[in-house]
Amino acid sequence: MASSASDTPRIGITTYLEPTIWGVWERDAALLPRVYLDSVVAAGGVPLLLPPVGTDPSVLDVLDGLVIAGGCDVDPGSYDAVPHPETVGTRRGRDEHEAILIRAALAADLPLLAICRGLQMLNVTLGGTLQQHLPEAVGHDEHRPSPAIFGRTDVKIDDGTLTSRLFGDRTTVHCYHHQALDRVAPGLQVTARAGDGTVEAAEVTGQAFALGVQWHPEENPDDLRLFTALVDEALRRRTR
């Protein structure tokens, strides 16, 4: 890991922009669950927040890695689909913001970790589509058991992938989502699935480190493998 503060890899993380209440104030605010920040710091990086306002891809010039965070449903208009009744709370501005950053990161071969909604945005940005309400496809609610309750999903991983180098052939993960990948985008290789067939991880072919996972690694502080791998790759890229 980095030996001094100046060497510490800088990891950008996309944020929400939501109506928020704190103290006597009720205003829109850029926010992000602290678990993302703690995970980056514990892995040896320094987190920098990237709110969906004033998007400029040149911000990536000061970053060593990028995390596309989880959050709200992706707007079906992003992939030319009609909204499902269960698709709610979309934020088109955030979709556009993250799509710009994803394209710029891939063009620069910047280490990229896309989490839950982030994997969905990665797929949509590259030309894929989403299953808007997963329970209709798999016949159960185990990927999002109830409001604010994470599910536990067993994942089978393909050999010979970055995902398998980090986790082996199987792992159990924290999940909370009702949307998932449907048509997989060109250039995106599925590397892990749940037992019901749901895509749980995918990698961008031809990139040194561009990995998306449908689960929430930030919710398991005892397993920092994804964040550590991102920070380590960011440090390698900087030294190159």
Would residue 116 show up in a list of annotated catalytic residues for this protein?
A: yes
Q: Which of 175, 200, 216, 233 is catalytic?
A: 216
- Give residues with Cβ within 8 angstroms of 56, minimum separation 6: none
Q: Which of 98, 200, 203, 218 is catalytic?
A: 218
Q: Which of 97, 98, 116, 178 is catalytic?
A: 116
Q: Say if CB 240 and CB 208 are below 8 A apart.
A: no
Would residue 97 show up in a list of annotated catalytic residues for this protein?
A: no
Surface-to-core class of residue 166, CB atoms within 10 Å of its CB (0-12 exposed, 13-18 middle, 19+ buried): middle
DSSP tag of 135: H
Would residue 175 show up in a list of annotated catalytic residues for this protein?
A: no
What are the φ and ψ backbone dihedral angles of 200, each rounded to 5 degrees? -110, -20
> In which residue are the tokens 């995902």 written?
163
What is the C-alpha separation between 112 and 227, in angstroms, rounded? Answer: 10
Active site residues: 116, 216, 218
